[in-house]
Amino acid sequence: MMSSLKNFLSQIIDYAGLYPPANLSLKDAFRNFVEYQDSPDSWMLSRFVIPARQLTHLSPLMPDSENKLSFTLLGRGGKDADEFLENLKLDMADILSFRNAHTASVLDMFEAALPSSALTDAGQTLDLAKESSDLLNKNGIAVSFESPFGEGWQSRAENLIRALRKLKDRHVGFKLRTGGVTADVFPSTEHVAWAIATVRDAGVPIKCTAGLHHPVRHFNESVRTKMHGFLNVFGAGVLAEAKNLSQEKIQPILDDEDPKNFLFDENSFSWKDLRIATSEIVKARLFATSFGSCSFDEPREDLQKLGIL
């Protein structure tokens, strides 16, 4: 296997089998995750995605001889800042209880969509992000905050990214939703390019979720729209970080539907005439961290069909 590919895809998939379109039960999804630990491709696997409130139901399913399993916890959220913070305390209680019972497990990542009502005001956004990250970070948990998609998304996301920039000395990041099960929840390549460039300039990491089951951008019949590819998004991410690409130069990478333009060799990853050395990919992946996928099989199978994996 090419070193560049190994560095590019290392621990890139957060397994989210609980979520659409897979919609597996907790028992089935977690069983898959445990079995994937013994897969030859386990180096691509990162964390198991689970709502913090479901940790109490996960405890009986934990293996007797517990391996070091890693988890991403999803917050309850809230309709406004007060409800969000109250629910965050409930989330932390669930996390700490599970952590005490399963000491070999790694619960070090938390994700939550901040209330849209809080994100309309820059000051309130900063206060909420600061108070939330204070509570999580002091318990050894990094956090990625999301701006809910919909009308006015970019304005709210900009407030959030500005807040994260001011808090970048903490363990905070930005979560970008890149799709779903209906066409209306897929951001345009322009939106994704803007997010990558803006978050990169803010100096905070970006994590993606939803709609990235396949390597390369393509039209999908089931959702009747074009889906983003994870080679597109993360190729754009690592190149943007390493080469300080503008939004205008990032977007063509996201638009590309030809897998032949994404090349890996022993010394580099390249898209057309843009190239990043293998040694630089690891550092760039600290910016473009991972993506949540309800399938661990589909990304690997597609890469195999393309002759990449």
Q: Note the pLDDT of residue 199.
A: 98
- What is the mean pLDDT of each successive set of 10 residues along the chain, which is 309 residues long? 95 97 96 96 97 97 84 97 98 97 95 96 96 97 95 95 96 96 93 98 96 94 93 98 98 98 96 96 97 96 95
Q: Note the pLDDT of residue 26.
A: 98
- Enumerate domains of the chain plus CATH numbers: 3-305 (3.20.20.70)
User: DSSP assignment of the chain, as one string?
Assistant: --HHHHHHHTT-EEE-TTSTTT---HHHHHHHHHHHTTSTTGGGEEEEEEEGGGHHHHGGGS-SS----EEEEEP---SSHHHHHHHHHHHHHHHHHHHHH-TTSEEEEEEEEPPHHHHTSHHHHHHHHHHHHHHHHTTT-EEEEEPPPSTTHHHHHHHHHHHHHHTTTSSEEEEEE---SSGGGPPPHHHHHHHHHHHHHHT--EEEESS--SSS-EEETTTTEEEPPHHHHHHHHHHHHHHT--HHHHHHHHH---GGGEEE-SSEEEETTEEEEHHHHHHHHTTEEEEEES-SHHHHHHHHHTT--
Q: What is the value of pTM for the model shown?
A: 0.96
Beta bridge partners of 175: 146, 207
Q: Note the pLDDT of residue 66.
A: 63
Q: Note the pLDDT of residue 302.
A: 96
Q: Note the pLDDT of residue 223.
A: 86
What is the identity of the amino acid at 173? Answer: G
